[in-house]
Structure 1
């Protein structure tokens, strides 16, 4: 028996030398397991599941009325209605995600680096043959894997529940739209995750980075639109003083200013993906409306409308991660 064990150990050791484990994926698995066991993720997971159950239950209750009002079930986009239909008591699930998504991203990343340095584990990790960029990237990738798995699992639960209750098969375009919606939500949460990781690199205390991240989120979610409204009322000329073209350009400038907020980009993109009847996200002239057929847009056209919003969120996420990488590479970690 001892000889068998020794031979097994030699074989395993030789195999590990021939196929060394990538330390990056080891750190990613460590981050995923650490988040799953943390109480803050469990609490946020409970809140997301509760809001998902409430919004889906309201949509399911109104689903029968929606089906009876539409004669052609194939053109109904039934499963998209599950994400958008509401009776006024509760907002739809994508509106809940606009509020809970940033909190999820902030909670997963506000102590990503400063907690490692406070606990003294940062110097031990970097004493191993591990690159700094791999450590920072593993924090981001591990959290993104967790977020994407959660969102896609909720979508599968929604689709399965809709099939059981209604007995209507989901269409291919609905599947692609729901997948695109999940990708968009993951990118939106990833932006706030990148912001929180950047703040965890800049500040030594986890509480400081958490409060700063929440303050940034509240500014863009609540106060930014208020500031834009006050500025418009103060500097906008009267309606009688502008022509129709000038009014059109002025409204377009206001919409572009509002789109500097990540929440506005998320709202515009989700509205277009989940409501195929939406044909534009800004003011349009009567000449542009001439000849338009009132029918749902195909997925390709909706993705073309959504692409500026999605690329803006991706660019902001990459910018935050690049700046955090720059700051972390220049930091002295031995002190």
Structure 2
């Protein structure tokens, strides 16, 4: 795969110099910081009243009453936009501008181009999440005046890695549409349509299925935001033990102690594997379509 590093460097520098990326970056970044700030009074009240623990993790899972959305939900809903905005025009824009065949005429392999574009998008996502998560933790350190426990650091680091994979799944979707659809505007619209369906409309369909007496579990497990929220909730809330409905028999005799990190990880393993598999499947389809595509000078 000669030329992958060069493609990644070129595309990553393009992302960092893109006004579109910076606008979306700062919108999501400052909104997430705003949500983090509004959670602090609620967490402090719980700390003084009941001696609540895992306070740094609660910054990601607490939904302030005046905002109505937690940081986890915020990332789940708006993270996909940052994912596919980096790749929806990765291929078709070069075809429209007539520069793709010029890139492929260089001493690089064709697969290096698609791999480099995808990896550059993932790298940009990693930079955004690193800045956001470190800033949120910094706010907590300043507000709570206490060090970050190692166990919470491990869970936050796992959430950071899971978020990268989740955002990368949507980046692979944008890459797929950029290969399948010739016009960048149409591929962006297709990405938004898929995002809206899995973020909003799928819950409506699930409600209809529930009223008809049909289990909605299978349908909801097809939704990446649903899987991501389930997995992140377990990893960020050590006392959570289930990701689905719980029977009374399962609750009887249960000791309400926090789970260890490995125990929480064992619960969310199916969701994590599903998100990784979805990302890989979408990327492999994109890879296959691009390798089979005939590219001519325009």
| Superposition TM-score tier, normalisation by shorter sequence | over 0.9
Q: Which residue of 1 aligns with 2:203?
A: 225
Q: Which runs of 5+ in 2 are unaligned?
A: none
* Aligned-residue RMSD, C-alpha: 1.7
TM-score by length of 2: 0.94
2:137 to 145, 149, 159: 159
Deviates more, 1:289-298 or 1:126-135: 289-298
Change (3 A) 1:208 1:282: same
Per-residue CA deviations over 1:1-60 (Å, capped at 9, x if unaligned) read: xxxxxxxxxxxxxxxxxxxxx621111011111011111111111111221121111022
Q: Which residue of 2 aligns with 1:11?
A: none
Instruction: Please give the residue correspondences for 1:1-335 in structure 2 after superposition, counting only pairs within 5 Å.
Output: 23-71=3-51, 76-90=53-67, 91-234=69-212, 236=213, 253-335=215-297
d(CA) in 2 for partners of 1:70, 1:228: 37
d(CA) in 2 for partners of 1:262, 1:211: 19
The question of whether the paired residues in 2 share the 8 Å contact of 1:80 and 1:174 is answered with yes
Deviates more, 1:53-62 or 1:316-325: 53-62
Q: What secondary structure sits across from 2:86 in the alignment?
A: helix
Q: What secondary structure sits across from 2:256 in the alignment?
A: coil
TM-superposed CA distance for 1:328, in Å, is 0.6
Deviates more, 1:169-178 or 1:148-157: 148-157
Per-residue CA deviations over 1:63-89 (Å, capped at 9, x if unaligned) read: 321220233x6xx11111111223311
The question of whether the paired residues in 2 share the 8 Å contact of 1:62 and 1:86 is answered with no
d(CA) in 2 for partners of 1:285, 1:159: 36
d(CA) in 2 for partners of 1:288, 1:144: 40
TM-superposed CA distance for 1:194, in Å, is 0.5
Per-residue CA deviations over 1:97-136 (Å, capped at 9, x if unaligned) read: 1121111011101001001111121111111121111110
The question of whether the paired residues in 1 share the 8 Å contact of 2:79 and 2:167 is answered with yes
TM-score by length of 1: 0.84
The question of whether the paired residues in 1 share the 8 Å contact of 2:63 and 2:71 is answered with no
d(CA) in 2 for partners of 1:284, 1:56: 30
d(CA) in 2 for partners of 1:290, 1:230: 32
The question of whether the paired residues in 2 share the 8 Å contact of 1:123 and 1:334 is answered with yes
TM-superposed CA distance for 1:228, in Å, is 2.3
Q: Which runs of 5+ in 1 are unaligned?
A: 1-21, 237-249
